[in-house]
Amino acid sequence: MDGKKNISIGFLVMGFFMAYGFLLIYLRDFAPDKEAWVNSYSLGKHFESRLAHVHGNLFAFLNILIGYLLLRFEAQLSNVKTISWLALAGLLMPVGILAEVYFGLPPALILVGAIAMTASVLWLGLAFLRLKTN
């Protein structure tokens, strides 16, 4: 059942980062210091927060897609479990961005997540390249 967890966690993470988008809208349009937030559009926490929002939704969607493909082609592909876990580990990237913004943590999670997601996508691409079709 590898792939099922990617789909379920992907939807849950996507829901979280969609809700996080509402916070970003609040900060831009309704917060008491919204002018300062708007003026820092391409700097610091504002920029990093937008990166987390975008990558969180992208990586969640990739997990949904990878999960579906792993479920659909599980019998024909090799290393399904490894690809699944690497895709899930990729979610550390946007979580790491938020951890850096809100808790001042170093960017280690960002790098681990980015490498894991890239590896899962490349590995799945190679697995499909080797797939024998009828």
CA distance 76 to 89: 23
Number of domains in the chain: 1
CA distance 24 to 28: 6
Kindly report, residue by residue over 75-103, the tens digit of the pLDDT: 999 999 999 999 999 999 999 999 999 99
Domain ranges, residue 114: 4-130
Q: Are 81 and 101 in contact (CB under 8 A)?
A: no
CA distance 47 to 54: 11
Q: Are 59 and 13 in contact (CB under 8 A)?
A: yes
Q: Largest alpha-carbon pair distance within the chain?
A: 62
The model's pTM:
0.92
Kindly report, residue by residue over 15-43, the tens digit of the pLDDT: 999 999 999 999 889 989 888 878 877 77
* Stretch 47-71: mean pLDDT: 96
